[in-house]
Every structure is written in C-alpha cells, then in structure tokens.
Amino acid sequence: MRYDRPVDVTPLLKGQAPEEVMPLVSAIYGVCANAQAHAAVLALEAASGSAADASTQRARALVTCMENLRENVLRIALEWPKLIGGEPEGPAVRPAISFLPRIRLAMFDGTDPFALDAAPRMNGQAALDVIADAERLLEKEIFGEPLDYWLSRRGHVGHIDWCVSSKSPAARLIAHLADCGWMHRADIDCGSIELPGADAVALWPRQLARAGGLAPFSTDAAVPETTLFSRRARDGVVASLNNAGLGARFLARLAELARLPGEMRSVLEGGAEPKSVSEYAEGAGIGIVEAARGLLLHVVRLHNGHVDRYRIVSPTDWNFDRQGIAVRCLATLDGHHDEDERLALAHLIVNAIDPCVAYEVRAG
C-alpha cells in the first residue's frame, strides 16, 4: 500500500495572522471543510490564549456533527451499493445535503461559525427541526426502522434479522458480508487513540505537538487507529460481535449515524459537552475534533502573533500509515488464491477504514 500525504500547509500559512488563517483553511479543504475549520479555530484560539464561550462551543459542535452525519449518509448511499455490484442511491438521500446549511443558519444566522470572533445567534427550535428531519431520513433510507430499535440489536442473529427485514443499501451490504462469510475477515486490533479529556491534554497530542507529525508512532509497532470503529467499538450494537472484522467496522459507521441525532440534541440542550479539545501544550495550540472518519488534529505555533509552523494530522494519516490499520488489515489477504475475491475484499477493507482521499486498488 502507498499513501501520499497531503502537501505541508506551513509554507502557505507561515507569516499569516490568526484571522488570516481561517479563510485559507476553509478554502483549502473540500472534504470535511467544517471539521477542518473547527480544528483550526480551536488550535488558533489555544495558541493565542483565548477561548470561545460555552454557547459558541456547543453551536460549533452541532455544525461539525451534522457534517459528520451528512458525509456518512452520502457515503453509504453512493458508495456501499457499488461495493456489491449495485448502483448508487443518491436521490433517496438528497435532502441530507440541506441539513448542514440549515444547522449553520439555525446556530449562526448566516455568520461564519468558525471565525475567531464567532458568536452564535441560536434558534433552538430550528435546530431541533433539522435534527428531527435528519433522524427521519436515517430511519427511512438507512435503517428502515427506529434508531433506538436498531441500536438495541445484538450479535450475528440480531444483525441478520435486520438484513432480512430492511432493504436499505446498508442492510444489503451487511447481508452480502454475511452471505460470503466475510463478517470476521480482517479482524485486526491496532489499538486506538481517543479524544483527550477536557481537564488536560493526554500524552499523544503532546507528542504530536512536539514532533510535528506521526514520527513518535510510526515505528515497527502498530500505529493506533482513529476510525469510526475505534470511536464506536464499545457501543453494544458493535461490541456484541466480539471482533474487529469487516462486519463490525461497517456496523460502527451505522452506529455513528444512529447515535448522532440524540447526541446533537443533548449538546444543544446542554446535557453533554462538545467532543473537542482546545489546549496549549509544548509551545503550540492544539485543536482536536471528531471528524467524519476519525479524530482530526491541528497544531499551530505562533511567533510574534503570526504563524510560524502549522501541522494537520488527519485520520487518514494515522489509519494509512505504513504501520497503520489499513496496511495490517490488507496484509491478511496475502496468499489469498482467488484474485477476484481478494480484490473485492481489498475494496471492502479500504472503504471500511475510509480514507479522506480517492484511492485505487490494483491487482499484483
């Protein structure tokens, strides 16, 4: 496997004032653009010694959560059918495209959520309406049943029963894995990194801030993963499979979707804290958010109020490192004699881990 990391953004951002960085970050990234802007503003606020108030943090978190929901809905509808020889099912989930601009409008009334001086203008009922619409779409087009009921399913029997009763693209993919005997394929555990607690930055962000990259982790030992599986592995619907195979990884993405509406309501109503970190450590501002594919980290060092060094560590950097989870899962296919089946499994593995860039699988 070869993964070419994105170009270092430091030359583009070096010398810029913090307020000049935000428009550039938003312009650079088309994938998970809101999560990128969110991590950037958290890092810049930490480096500058400032912090957004609690209402701004909650409102920003809702925008990023809704982006995560949209990204994964589109991934399931457009990509999962192709993995089993079907056609994309985009029209059914087209309303999901409107959810993100609607939640931004409900939270910030047309202003930039990730400006350094952002202040929410929250319309709580409008936000609840968007979340309710998202939940209805998930129940109709992705799960085919109430989210709470799906989340109560356990083990192989529970998931197969769902596959029989639902005709959604998600259920068809899980049924395909079960029919082929692939639910447990690529059962590899590399360990995971988790969002540090709010009280202090844990060791791994400090190491990244100090080294400016994954160097402390990219050794002969496995690089830990940050995927939707590592985020949702302890959820009962995933944990009941008792493995880290393909089935569990695809079900983890579904668990993410099924949990998000309730989690967004809780953040909106103040019952849960945003899942993000903004801390100053090792001479740098650190911003971490839960993006659609795993943890996204921005690290910025300022000198005389301007950017001296800027580093972004994406989930793909972790997961497709030379010792990362993707390499180790793909290695389980070595010696597989059926070439067509090996290629099909390789596509499934890569999609289950989900890079934020285009990929190509080649026989060889």
Sole residue written with tokens 């395909």? 176
Look at strands 294-303 and 306-313 and give their pairing. antiparallel
In terms of pLDDT, which residue wins out, 132 or 189? 132
Element holding 310 (H helix, E strand):
strand 306-313
The pLDDT of 209-226, averaged and rounded, is 64
CA–CA distances in Å: residue 312 to residues 52, 298, 316:
21, 5, 11
Query: What percent of the chain clears pLDDT 70, i.e. is strictly above it?
Result: 90
Asked if pLDDT for residue 200 goes beyond 80, the answer is: no
pLDDT tens digits, one per residue of 239-256: 999 999 999 999 999 999
pLDDT at 213 over 60: no
Decide: 339 and 363 in contact? Cβ < 8 Å.
Answer: yes
Are the C-beta atoms of 312 and 298 separated by less than 8 Å?
yes
Residue 219 has pLDDT above 60, yes or no: no
The strand order across the sheet containing 284-291 reads 276-281, 284-291, 294-303, 306-313
Query: pLDDT digit string (tens) for 65-92?
Result: 999 999 999 999 999 999 999 999 999 9
More confident residue, 8 or 325: 325
State the pTM of this model: 0.93
The gap from C-alpha 154 to its chain's centroid, in whole angstroms, comes to: 24
State the Cα–Cα distance between residues 38 and 61, nearest whole angstrom.
8
In this prediction, residue 210 has a pLDDT band, given cuts at 50, 70 and 90, of low
Give the tens place of pLDDT for each residue, 132-142: 999 999 999 99
